[in-house]
Structure 1
Amino acid sequence: MDREVLNIQEGPASNYIEALHQKFGGQRTSNTYSINIASIACHLTTYEIHKGLELVVTEGLYNKILEARHIPDDYPDYIHINIFKEGQLTRHYSSKKEHVEAGTTKGVFAHNGMFPLVAEFPANHSFKSIGFKFHKDALMELMPEAMETYEALFGDHKPITYHASLPKEIERITDDIFYFRECDFGNRSLVMARGLEAFTALWMMAKNQNANNDLNGLHVDDYKRLLQIKEKLLGSFDQKIVIEDIALEYGISASKLKRDFKSLYDCSIYQFYTHAKMDEAYRRLKSGEYSVMEVGYDLGYQNLSKFSSMFKKVKGISPKDVLKMPA
């Protein structure tokens, strides 16, 4: 599949407009970008809600894989929040791949722009997103009561990201943003009003989740460690995993390992390991080169009935049924 690479200097939305215009042409103003041709449709609009606070509304569709490479801005007090409303993408950072789909626990992504980030959009899939870009000073002026939460999340000035699901009340507000965007009268004022409401609601959510220790940030070192652990799991299908042993090997507590893994992969270590093992079992069975007994034993099962039961639970069919499928 063909792909295009779009290089973007992380920072204000004007950088995005400039990068898109240079790459694809189209029409641009100081706060909009638009193109609609056979190969690509994209419409981006920015709204200055407050000095130092931008709302960015984007929707598009491209007939190739689009790889948007974000170059770090190295400015820790300039924060980027993205709400993925429709479609799917894969984010890459610190040699890590993460699949993101609208409506999941990774629907909200916040970071301080201090490490390389690649967003890969699949071909022929429409997407919609809402973003906020803001300076710390702007937050201080608008919501000084949010500064304690800000310092807890971003105050150490280290590269860091946060993931969260999109609460229903914020989802409704962001739905309104796309609706009002198409209004003939008052669209900018209506969108900006809803944008400020959504921004405020996000900080209320962050405050509550941080107070309850439900908002877990991952530094670059955390991502690197989780990537290594993921590769270890994928290479250990014939073994029994022990979380405490893995945590000890990588020099962290078992509780942090479980929390970080859940934050990034949206499942427990055991769930990830089991599903990955069944994916491998399916691949081997589908190849026609292995029997059910060979696959079960190779993947560490001493009891083939347990293997068959787990396979059917995860895949919805029995291992024998896979053997009957055409190659």
Structure 2
Amino acid sequence: MNGAVSALKPRHKMASNGKPLNVVPTNHNSEVLQVQDLIMSSSSSSFSSMKLRVYGGKASFMTWRLHDILHVAKHHWIPCVFAMGLLFFMGVEYTLRMVPSSSPPFDVGFVTTRSLHLLLASKPKLNTLLAGLNTVFVGMQTTYIVWTWLVEGRPRATISALFMFTCRGILGYSTQLPLPQGFLGSGADFPVGNVSFFLFFSGHVAGSVIASLDMRRMQRWEMAWTFDALNVLQSLRLLGTRGHYTIDLAVGVGAGFLFDSLAGKYEESKKSKAPTKTGTKDAFFL
């Protein structure tokens, strides 16, 4: 008790002349609260000023004017086209009569290549010839992709193909689409021998895109355009023989770009310099 009372009394310190000095007791709790209030008020004002500086006190769309909209339409017309496409296909999707489960899938590519399908069905030798030529093209893709790694020492296309075919196997097994009606098989087609294959997605198309992208990186423009043209002809043949649905081919194109990009990111993350007798070279694996 005496200690508590003495704590409330003024404390005395001795001055240099020997006289006591009165020291007014301070309330430490009130000082702490004042400091906290000061910090909170300054933080709040800083946040408010930052919010005003970033947003101008208004939502972004509230600052738009007619000339801003015209500027977007003129200089960013591609997103505008896709925005109109979004609205259009929303209307198509919500009003479309769905294909019954008892009917074959509707495929625009099959409708477009109906004449080619009838021609190949009536001429089996022509179908076999085109299948053989397509297999040669697949061999060209494979040879180029492996060549870039084993001979030129650039593994990106090979890594991309490994990523792509592994993902294709997972997706193809996960959703096994029915074989299209009117499928025209051939023992000369790849994979050779009329064996089973995954429909989704097209490895033929994706592999060609991977090779073409690598050719463009190396500025082999003529080879790239040749591969692109052969890829278009290959796609028409696959639709004409009912070897793939249109969605298989479209996703194959996208897969080629996607896995080429992923392989590039992988290569950048793993790239290192390995000393050799002739200098340095890019290491495939760390």
TM range (shorter): under 0.3
User: Whose helix fraction is larger, Structure 1's or Structure 2's?
Assistant: 2
- TM-score (structure 2 length as normaliser): 0.22
Query: Is the strand fraction higher in 1 or 2?
Result: 1
TM-score by length of 1: 0.20
